Amino acid sequence: MPRLLIPVESTPGETRVAATPDTVKKFLSFGCDVSVERGAGTTSGYLDQAYADQGAQLIDPGDAAGWSQADIFLCVQPPSAASLARLRQGALVVGLLSPYANEELTASLKRGALSAMALELLPRISRAQSADALSSQANIAGYKSVLLASAALDRYFPMLMTAAGTVQPAKVVILGAGVAGLQAVATARRLGAVVYVSDIRPAVKEQVESLGARFIEPPKLEDKPAESGGYAKQASDAFLAAQRQQLSDQLAEADVAICTAQVPGRRAPRLISEDMLDRMRPGAVVVDLAVAQGGNCADTVPGQTVDRNGVKLIGGNDLPCTVPNHASALYARNLVALLEPTLKDGDLKLDLEDELIAGCLVAQDGNILRGDVLTPGAS
């Protein structure tokens, strides 16, 4: 009977939890024992008693026996090397493990003979949608980015007709039409803004327009970027330069810019330069969701709001942590969807023939299976 452990997240500022009382009930129905550290769900609005009522065993944070007996360790952020060292050999770690070129994680997995599934590497296929944690969390980030922008903006979002005259709607430019970008489009439109979207992939035009936004056609160059595995490919320098020139005029008239363009495992493309910021009007707002990966916009700082000549630059990293109840609920359901096929007849079985498992299983019993990601360039 597999033993699951749900810890208190140790990363500063992390408010989510890897399981809710509802998903604990699910795991118990799969034949698992579930241990939850006391206080694990408090910052997400899930109290210890709610877990206990569903049948979870409550343990003290860091309880040695609870950690050493766990077969499956569910987390949101990657645990520290010291934390991983407390797990027994062969235990399975599942979460958003920041796997790209993560030498510390690689060393810990080898040293502890651990298995690990990194949700960032889940294949972008239809069957994986219910387990796609990146998408569920990006959806929240896109939504919250618009609320932050509307609160910081010195104007209304919608058009208003008042006795004192008509107020024109805000113009919002969204860079990137992935999950976060499309949710930002939908949220900004619901608030009444006029929305323009820039993306390097012409194929997303239909999705953008279906939400009521206007698509900014990408530059017409021969080396047009496309997508791979559901993500945008890295564009060439020439293409990005042409796109920035195109964006400059749009941003000069914009009230809000929301940056969502990211490439997995790579530094985020710099789309808004200082020269482009100089053209934006005082009072305009930029929310950069890619700030933790280097930022789409110049001068943004993770977790801070920078006033640059009157333009507010908001470093919007970890926005799902600001909506922890729903972020945790969605994330926990992602984990259930991923692990349910592996929990058969009261046992944990990892089928390497399953492309979902093979795609995100970075290590098994200390053997590194995705060295291309964890240790790229290693011989």
Question: Would you say 297 and 313 are in contact if contact means Cβ atoms under 8 Å apart?
Answer: yes
Same domain, 144 and 96: no
Range scoring the smallest mean pLDDT among 209-213, 323-327, 370-374: 370-374
Same domain, 145 and 46: no
How far is CA 243 from its chain centroid? 25
Residue 183 reports pLDDT greater than 90 = yes
Q: Is 114 a member of any domain?
A: yes
Q: Is 130 a member of any domain?
A: no
Q: Please say if 201 is a catalytic residue.
A: no
Same domain, 109 and 188: no
- Degrees to nearest 5, angle at CA 303 with 18 and 317: 45
Q: Please say if 231 is a catalytic residue.
A: yes
Band (pLDDT 50/70/90 cuts) for residue 181 is very high
Same domain, 186 and 285: yes
Same domain, 165 and 297: yes
**Which parts of 159-236 fold into alpha helices (H)?**
179-190, 205-210
Same domain, 329 and 318: no
Range scoring the smallest mean pLDDT among 132-136, 202-206, 344-348: 344-348
Q: Which residue among 3, 46, 51, 132 is the active-site one?
A: 132
Q: Is 79 a member of any domain?
A: yes
Q: Is 372 a member of any domain?
A: no
Q: Which residue among 22, 88, 231, 246 is the active-site one?
A: 231
Q: Is 129 a member of any domain?
A: no
Same domain, 18 and 117: yes
**Which parts of the chain fold into alpha helices (H)?**
21-29, 48-53, 64-68, 81-84, 103-112, 133-152, 179-190, 205-210, 237-252, 274-279, 324-339, 355-360, 371-374
Q: Please say if 129 is a catalytic residue.
A: yes
Report the CATH number that the domain containing residue 61 is assigned in CATH. Answer: 3.40.50.720
Same domain, 94 and 29: yes
Q: Mapping DSSP to helix (H, G, I), strand (E, B) and coil, where does residue 67 land?
A: helix
Q: Which residue among 68, 129, 210, 245 is the active-site one?
A: 129
Nearest-angstrom CA–CA distance, 67 and 106: 20
Of residues 348, 312, 283, 364, the one with CA closest to residue 118 = 364
Same domain, 160 and 113: no
Q: Which residue among 124, 190, 270, 279 is the active-site one?
A: 124
Q: Please say if 124 is a catalytic residue.
A: yes
Same domain, 252 and 267: yes
Q: Is 378 a member of any domain?
A: no
pLDDT tens digits, residue range 185-227? 999 999 999 999 999 888 999 999 999 999 998 877 655 555 5
pTM listed for this prediction: 0.92
Same domain, 30 and 173: no
Domain that holds residue 66: 3-121+323-367
Q: pLDDT exceeding 70 applies to what percent of the chain?
A: 95
* Sole residue written with tokens 């944990």: 348
Longest CA–CA span in the chain (Å) reads: 72
Q: Please say if 299 is a catalytic residue.
A: no
pLDDT tens digits, residue range 87-126? 999 999 999 999 999 999 999 999 999 999 999 999 988 9
Q: Which residue among 44, 54, 108, 135 is the active-site one?
A: 135
Nearest-angstrom CA–CA distance, 128 and 114: 24
Same domain, 67 and 170: no
Q: Is 154 a member of any domain?
A: yes
Considering its fold, how many domains does the chain have in total?
A: 2
| Residues across the chain | 379
Residue 246 reports pLDDT greater than 70 = yes
Convert 145-180 to b/e letters by CB count within 10 Å (16 or more is b).
Answer: bbbbbbebbebbbeeeeeeeeeeebbbbbbbbbbbb
Token duo for residue 154 = 């010195």
Residue 343 reports pLDDT greater than 90 = yes
- Degrees to nearest 5, angle at CA 148 with 157 and 290: 115
Query: What's the confidence (pLDDT) of residue 379?
Result: 41
Q: Is 133 a member of any domain?
A: no
